[in-house]
Structure 1
C-alpha cells in the first residue's frame, strides 16, 4: 500500500555515488544485490515492484521466500522474509503495474530522469510493454541499462530462464564442488549460498560504474548485457585455467585445493580446522609444530609440487597428527609461527567472532515493523566517501507517492488518477 512517507535521506550526502538515480526493476538476488551496492555507495535507488493483488501476490518474489520471517519487538512473526532483507536496503519501493498503459507511462517518465536502470526480465520481456532498452535509451540517451539474464541476450539459450542453482550446474561449479568420487557422500554439490547470483550482482555494479565513467567522457549511456552463465564460467578462475592449460577437466576434491597441499580441512580432537599452507616455508613450520619436522625436508613433501604429487600419502599423515589436540590449541600454536589456519565456524560463531565484531559486520537499522533489523554491512571501507545505511529494506509500495511527487512532480489528483486506473499501488 502506497503512502506519503518521505523519501529517506542518505546519511552520507557526500557518498561516492550521491546524486545518481537508479531504477531497479529486478527481483530475486542478482539485480537487487547490484542495486543495494549502488545504494550503499550513495545512489538514490528506486525499486519498481508489481502492486499487491487481491491474492496477496505482488512485489519481489523474495518477499514471500520464508520462513524465516522477521520478528517484531514482542517476538511475533511478521510477513517480512529474511531473504528479502539481504539485498534491498537503501532503496525506496514504488508499486507500478506495468501491464497498464498508465503504469508503462510512469516507468518511461522515471527512466527519462534516471541515470541507470537494472532489469532481469527474460530476453524481450520488456519489449511488449514498450520498456525495452532501445526504447528507453531513445527517450534518454544518457541512460545506462543493465540487463541480467540467465544466458545473455544472444546465443541458442537466450530465451531460457536461468536460476542460480541451474547455472552452478551448467557453468561447471558443481562438477568441482563436493566430495571426490570414491568418498562417502560423493557427488556434485552447490555452494551454500547463491554465489552465482551474488557474483553476477557484483559484476553488474562494476559494469554500471564503468559505463558511468564512459558516459562522463562521451555523454552517452549504453546497454550492459550480463548473463549468469557468463559470470559463472568467468569465476572458475584457476580451475578453468587448469582445464584450458591441460585439456583435463578437474574433478571434485572436497575441501582440498587442486594446486596447493596442504590446503583443506583436517580433523582435530574436538572437531576440525583449516590449514591453508601457501608456501614451502609455512609447510616446514607446520611440520615443526605437528612434531614431525623431518617432513619439511623429505623430498616427497619439501616442495609444493612434490606435495601435490604425493597428496594421498601426506594428507592422512597430517590428519593423524592433528587429531591429537583441540582446534583452539592448534590454532594458537600455528598462528604463533605464522601458519595460516582457523576453525570451521558456524554462523553463530561467525557473528560472535571478535574480529567480525571489531569490523562491525553486523549493522542494526530502525525498522517500522520490528523496531530494529540486523543486517550485514557492506564490506567496502572508503576513507573519504563511506558507505551509509540510510534505510532498511522498504515495504511494498511504501514510497510510491513520495517518489512520484519528487521525480515527476505529480500532485494529489494526479496520483489519485493513477491509483484509480490501477497503475500504481
Structure 2
C-alpha cells in the first residue's frame, strides 16, 4: 500500500517523544523512517517494560519505523552517518547543539553531503539565546512558557507536571508540518534546508489564548497582579489560591468556563459539555431550566448559586441520559472517558484513531492511529515498533555498505544486529 509520502526516506537520530513522534507521523503517511538508536536502545525502551528492551512508551511512539543501532561516539560511526545522510530525504535530529557537532550530525555537515536534505533540528528552548545549548524536557517548558500556571493540577500546594506530555507530542506534530512544508519548498526549488523546532516554541503556540499581552489594556493590570501574587506568595498562600486570583482577573470568559464549558459529575460518572456562543448559552438554560446569571460578575453570589444548582442538577441523571437529552437539543456534549475506555470507544474505533498492532516480542497492543487522513490516498497501515537493531543489516546494505563492512562494524561494536 502506498501513502502520501511513499518514496520519502527519513533517518531519525532522536530519543524520547518529541522528534520520534514526528517520525511516527511521517511513517503513518508512508515515509520510510529509519530510527537510529544507541547500542543500549532509546531510553523509552526501559519504561513499563513488556519484554527485554521493549517498553510501553517506546511501542506506542515508534510504530511504522525500521530500527538500527549505532554507537555515535565510535571512530567508525561517521561512515554510517554519512551513508545515511546521503540516502535520506529528511533527517530528524534531537540532540543538544554541542552533541550535534561532536557526532557530526549537524545540519551544516549533513547538507554538505546531501544538499537536498531536509534537516529537522530540535532544541528544547530554541536555537538562539542563552539556553540554546541547554537540554530540556516537557515539564521544564510547562513551567517556563507560563502555560503550566494555568494547566497544572496541584499536589500538596505545588504544581504537578501535566500528563500526557502535550508539548512533546505537539512538537512532533509541528515538526512534521515543518518537514512537509520544507519538502514542498524542495519540490519548487531543489533546495534542502534546516528546519528548527522546539518544545518551548510549541508550548507557547499551544498557550496562545493565555500567554499574550496587549499594550492598550494590560500594563497597569499586569503590574498590579504581579505585585499581588508576590505578596500572596510571601504570605504563604497556596499555589492553587494564587492561581484562582489570576484566573478571576485575567482569564477571558472565566464565568462561561465555570458553567457552560466544563465537566459535570452525573449520577454514574462525568459528562463534558461545551457551549460558549450566545445561542448555545440560551439553549443550556432552556434545557436545564436554570436562571441566567450575570456573566459580568462571574464570581459573585448569583453566579455561584447557579453553578451550585447546575452541579446538583447534573447529578440527578446518568451520563447516558444527559447525553441523550442534550443531543436531542443539539447541545454539544460527550462522555468523559478513562484512557482504557477511550481505547474501546465506538466513535474512536470507527475512525481508526486507535488501531491494533501485533509485536513479535510481546504480542498485541493498541495505540494511536493516524490523526489525519487523505481523501485521495488510503490510510497507511503501519507495523509495530521495531526491535532493537532489528533492521541494522538490511538498512546498512540499502545505504551502500558491503556485507563484510557491516560484519566488521558488528565485530567492532559499532552497530548491533540480532543473530
TM-score range normalised by the length of the shorter chain: 0.7 to 0.9
1:199–1:87 CA distance, 2 compared to 1 (3 A)? same
Q: Is the 8 A contact 1:38 1:45 kept in 2?
A: yes
Q: Is the 8 A contact 1:365 1:373 kept in 2?
A: yes
1:216–1:138 CA distance, 2 compared to 1 (3 A)? same
Q: Do residues 314 (structure 1) and 306 (structure 2) align?
A: yes
Range with bigger deviation, 123-132 or 37-46: 123-132
* Superposition TM-score, scaled by structure 1 size: 0.84
Match of 1:146 among 120, 124, 129: 120
Give the deviation of 1:92 after TM superposition: 0.6
Alignment deviations for residues 267-314 of structure 1 (CA, whole Å, 9 cap, x no partner):
32333322211222222222222233xx25x6x25xxx6768875453
Matches within 5 A, 1:333-344: 333-344=325-336
Counterpart residue number, 1:331: 323
Q: Do residues 62 (structure 1) and 44 (structure 2) align?
A: yes
Gaps in structure 1 of 5+ consecutive residues: 1-11, 52-57, 71-76
Q: Do residues 418 (structure 1) and 409 (structure 2) align?
A: yes
Root-mean-square deviation over aligned CA pairs: 2.6
Q: Which has the higher contact order (CA 8 A, sep 6+)?
A: 1
Q: Distance in 1 between matches of 2:52 and 2:72?
A: 28
Gaps in structure 2 of 5+ consecutive residues: 226-241
Match of 1:282 among 256, 280, 283: 280
Q: Do residues 37 (structure 1) and 20 (structure 2) align?
A: no
Match of 1:95 among 57, 69, 75: 69
Q: Distance in 2 between matches of 1:209 and 1:339?
A: 37
SS of the equivalent of 2:36 reads strand
* Superposition TM-score, scaled by structure 2 size: 0.85
Q: Is the 8 A contact 1:177 1:252 kept in 2?
A: no
Matches within 5 A, 1:338-377: 338-377=330-369
Greater per-residue helix proportion: 2
Q: Is the 8 A contact 2:13 2:94 kept in 1?
A: yes
Q: Is the 8 A contact 1:99 1:129 kept in 2?
A: yes
Q: Is the 8 A contact 1:176 1:188 kept in 2?
A: no
Q: Distance in 1 between matches of 2:67 and 2:199?
A: 25
Matches within 5 A, 1:129-278: 129-178=103-152, 187-241=158-212, 246-247=218-219, 252=243, 258-259=252-253, 260-261=256-257, 262-278=260-276
Give the deviation of 1:220 after TM superposition: 1.1
Give the deviation of 1:242 after TM superposition: 6.7
| Number of equivalences | 388
Give the deviation of 1:101 after TM superposition: 2.3
Counterpart residue number, 1:128: 102
SS of the equivalent of 1:332 reads helix
Q: Distance in 2 between matches of 1:99 and 1:92?
A: 22
Q: Distance in 2 between matches of 1:193 and 1:396?
A: 25
